[in-house]
Amino acid sequence: MAGKARVLVTRPEPGASETARRLEAADFLALKLPLQEIRPLEFDAGTIPADIAAVAVTSANAVRHAPGDVVDRLKHLPCFAVAAATAKAAREAGFKHVIEGGGDAEALAKTILGRPPGGPVAYLCGRVRRPAFEQRLAGEGIAIHALETYDTIGVGYTVKEVQHLAAGHPIDYVLVYSANAAEALIAMALQTGLEELFENAVFACISGRVAESFRERPGTRIRIASEPDERMLLSLLGPGPAP
């Protein structure tokens, strides 16, 4: 394992293990440290308004954790999915007509506005989310009904747990998938005995919005994926330890 770049994977499971397998196949050393846990929420399909004209999804988790009766109620409607991975999850769940929305929430809103659904939009989403997407549609007169299918819970670690995972070696890259994870990483890096682990790390962020979380940490080495997609995120990693 000597000489392999050490990559800290912070996304929730089961995604963390999927990413770790991709990294190891590319000859990186993957260190799994999920900073969040996804928990499904109960939702009654009977509360979905009868006049829903389309579906919007900004997270694959929202589809994966949607109850079967909710999917059955909505799967015949046009489904606007934020990016390729979310679109794939929607198709696998049973949605018949999936439209990819451009890569991020802003682009998805523009896609929907460019193809007005003619009625309210059901938004499959998590309890923890940014309001910009819903505000943009509402501001353009499109009614949006949030259907919260999962919650995101922060996962804490002791200094010893992180030090044990790193085995005394500095981290070369950190994969950052959300602003909440970025904030947790910053707090973790400031803990006594941990800051040196991240001293020379490159923080690979899935979007510019995620990277903004580090703006008050001058000197932090940031790379931003050209598209908010894990394939583009992993392309930020070099073949060896970070330069």
More confident: 219 or 8: 8
Separation of alpha carbons 70 and 199, rounded Å:
46
Instruction: Give kind and range of the element (H or E) at residue 89.
Output: helix 84-93
pLDDT, residue 119, reads: 95
Enclosing H/E stretch for 6: strand 6-9
Contact 67, 43 (CB under 8 A): yes
| pLDDT tens, position by position, 158-210 | 889 999 999 889 999 999 998 889 998 888 887 877 888 898 899 999 988 89
Task: Count other C-beta atoms under 10 Å from residue 233's C-beta.
Answer: 24
3-class secondary-structure state, position 153: strand
pLDDT for position 242? 41
- Please tell me which residue, 87 or 241, carries the higher pLDDT value: 87
For residue 240, what pLDDT is reported?
Answer: 42
Asked if residue 12 has a cis previous peptide bond (ω within 30° of 0), the answer is: no
pLDDT at 2: 53
pLDDT digits (tens, 9 = 90+) for 84-117: 889 999 999 999 999 998 888 899 999 999 999 9
**Cα–Cα distance measured from residue 237 to residue 130, given in angstroms and rounded to the nearest whole number:** 28
Determine the average pLDDT of the residues in 69-88.
94
**Per-residue pLDDT at 239 exceeds 60:** no
- pLDDT mean over 48-75: 95
Q: pLDDT at position 124, please?
A: 97
Distance CA 193, CA 196 (A): 7
Q: Rounded to an integer, what distance in angstroms lies between the CA atom of residue 63 and that of residue 67?
A: 9
Band of residue 241 on the pLDDT scale cut at 50, 70, 90? very low
Cα 100 to Cα 79, 84, 123, 172, 193, distances in angstroms: 8, 7, 15, 33, 44
Please give the pLDDT value at position 27.
Answer: 93
Q: Give the helix/strand (H/E) hosting 149.
A: strand 144-154
Average pLDDT of the residues in 223-234? 89
Residue 88 near residue 78 (C-beta atoms within 8 A): no
| pLDDT score of 121 more than 60 | yes
Query: What does the alpha-carbon distance between residue 1 and residue 51 come to, in Å, rounded to a whole number?
Result: 57
Mean pLDDT of the chain: 91
Whether the full predicted model's pTM is greater than 0.95, yes or no, is no
At residue 125, φ and ψ (nearest 5 deg) are -155, 175
Residue 42 has pLDDT above 70, yes or no: yes
For 39-152, the fitting CATH number among 3.40.50.10090, 3.40.605.10, 3.40.50.300, 2.40.110.10 is 3.40.50.10090
Q: Assess contact for 99 and 76: CB atoms under 8 A.
A: no
**Whether residue 81 has pLDDT greater than 50:** yes
Three-state DSSP state, 199: coil
Query: Which residue would you say has higher pLDDT here, 53 or 104?
Result: 53
Percent of all residues in the chain with a pLDDT value above 70, rounded to a whole number = 97
Q: In the CATH scheme, what architecture does the domain 6-35+156-234 have?
A: 3-Layer(aba) Sandwich (3.40)
CATH 3.40.50.10090 positions along the chain are 6-35+156-234, 39-152
